[in-house]
Chain A
Amino acid sequence: MTDQTASLASFTSEIATKKLRKRHRAERRFQMYGIGAILFALAFLVFLFASIFSQGWTAFLQTSIKLPIDFSQEVINPSGNPDAEDEIFQANYVKLAREALYKELGVDPNDRKDRRAANELLSRGVDVQLRDMVLRDPSIIGSTEDVWLLASDNADALMKGSIDRKTPSERRQVSDEQIAWIDQMVDAGNMKKRFNTGLFVNGASSNPETAGLGVALIGSFFMMLTVVLLAVPLGVCAALYLEEYAPKGKIADTIEVNINNLAAVPSIVFGLLGLAVFINFFGLPRSASLVGGLVLTLMTLPTIIITTRAAIRAVPPSIREAALGVGASKMQLIGHHILPLSLPGILTGTIIGLVQALGETAPLLMIGMVAFVVDYPTTPLEPATGLPVQIYMWASSAERGFVERTAGATIVLLAFLVVMNSLAVYLRNRFERKW
Chain B
Amino acid sequence: MSSLTILAILAIAGIVAFFIGRLRSIQVCDGHQQELHSRPSYYGYYLAILTALPAVVLLAVWSVAERPVTKYVAMQELPPTVLQGTDAEKALTMSVVDNIAEGLPKLDPEEYEVLRKARFGFVTSSDARDVLGKHGVVLGSDPDRSLLAAADELASARATSRLWLPIACFGLAALGFLWGYTRIRPELRSRNIVERVMRSGLFLASTVAVLTTVGIVLSVLFETIHFFQFVSPMDYFFGTVWDPRFATVGKAEGQFGLLPLLWGTLFISAVALLVAVPVGLFAAIYMSEYAGSKVRAFAKPVLEILAGIPTIVYGFFALSVFGPLLRDVGGNIGLDISASSVLTAGIVMGVMIIPFVSSLSDDIITAVPQSLREGSYGLGATQSETIKKVVLPAALPGIVGAVLLAASRAIGETMIVVLAAGIAANLTLNPLEPVTTITVKIVSQLTGDLEFNSPQTLVAFALGLTLFVITLGLNVYALYVVRKYREQYE
Contacts and interface: CB of A to CB of B under 8 A. Distances in A.
- Verify that A and B bind, or say they do not: yes
Interface of A: 23-24, 26-27, 29-31, 33-38, 40-42, 44-45, 48, 51-52, 55, 233-235, 237-242, 244-246, 254-255, 258-259, 261-262, 264-273, 275-277, 280-283, 298, 301-302, 305, 329-331, 355, 358-362, 365-366, 368, 370, 388, 391-392, 395-396, 403, 406-407, 410, 413-414, 417, 421
Given A41-B306, A241-B205, A264-B475, A269 B216 contact: yes
Contact of B312 (A242, A361, A366): A361
Given A27-B382, A330-B195, 9 more contacts: A26-B382, A34-B289, A51-B321, A258-B210, A273-B215, A276-B222, A276-B223, A329-B195, A331-B199
Contacts of B383: 27
Interface stretch (B6-14, B133-141, B145-153, B275-283): B275-283
B464 A269 contact: yes
Given A262-B209, A269-B468, A283 B310 contact: no
Given A261-B475, A330-B195, A270 B216 contact: yes
B408 interface: yes
Given A34-B283, A45-B305, A245-B202, A266 B468 contact: yes
23 contacts: A37-B281, A37-B282, A38-B299, A41-B354, A237-B201, A238-B202, A238-B209, A245-B203, A264-B472, A266-B411, A268-B412, A275-B446, A276-B461, A301-B208, A359-B312, A359-B313, A365-B443, A365-B446, A368-B450, A392-B415, A395-B320, A410-B316, A413-B313
Interface string B192-219: 0011001101110111111011011001
Given A51-B317, A262-B209, A34 B471 contact: no
Contact of B208 (A26, A234, A268): A234
Contacts of B208: 234, 238, 298, 301
Nearest to B300: A38
A265 B408 CA distance: 9
B315 interface: yes
Contact of B315 (A237, A298, A395): A395
B321 to A, nearest CB: 5
B169 interface: no
Given A241-B205, A265-B216, A275-B446, A391 B467 contact: no
Contact of A36 (B282, B311, B446): B282
Contacts of A355: 308
A161 B443 CA distance: 36
A268 B210 contact: no
Interface string B62-87: 00100100000000000000000000
B316 A283 contact: no
Contacts of A235: 205
B320 A269 contact: no
Given A282-B64, A413-B313, A267 B414 contact: yes
B24 to A, nearest CB: 21
A403 B220 contact: no
Contacts, number: 253
A160 B321 CA distance: 19
A330 B196 CA distance: 11
| Top 10 closest pairs, chain A to chain B, by CB | A34-B286, A266-B412, A359-B310, A237-B205, A276-B219, A30-B384, A37-B282, A362-B414, A238-B206, A241-B202
Contacts of A30: 384, 387-388
Nearest to A268: B414
A36 B67 CA distance: 62
A161 to B, nearest CB: 17
Given A51-B317, A234-B205, A329-B191, A268 B312 contact: no
B302 interface: yes
Interface in B362-388: 382-385, 387-388
Interface of B: 64, 67, 191, 194-195, 198-199, 201-203, 205-210, 212-213, 215-216, 219-220, 222-223, 278-283, 285-287, 289-291, 299, 302-303, 305-306, 308-317, 319-321, 351, 354, 382-385, 387-388, 405, 408-409, 411-415, 418-419, 439, 442-443, 446-447, 450, 452, 460-461, 464, 467-468, 471-472, 475-476
Contact of B313 (A27, A29, A414): A414
B219 A361 contact: no
Given A264-B471, A269-B467, A41 B287 contact: no
Contacts of A42: 299, 302
Interface majority SS (helix, strand, loop, mixed), chain B: helix
B302 A27 contact: no
A159 B210 CA distance: 56
Nearest to B447: A370
A298 to B, nearest CB: 5
A140 B443 CA distance: 49
B415 A34 contact: no
Contact of A41 (B199, B279, B409, B442): B279
A119 B419 CA distance: 35
Contacts of A266: 411-414, 439, 467-468, 471
Contacts of B415: 361-362, 388, 392
Contact of B206 (A233, A242, A421): A242
Contacts of A269: 216, 220, 412, 464, 467-468
B442 A241 contact: no
A37 B358 CA distance: 10
Contacts of A51: 317, 320-321
Contacts of B203: 241, 245
B443 to A, nearest CB: 5
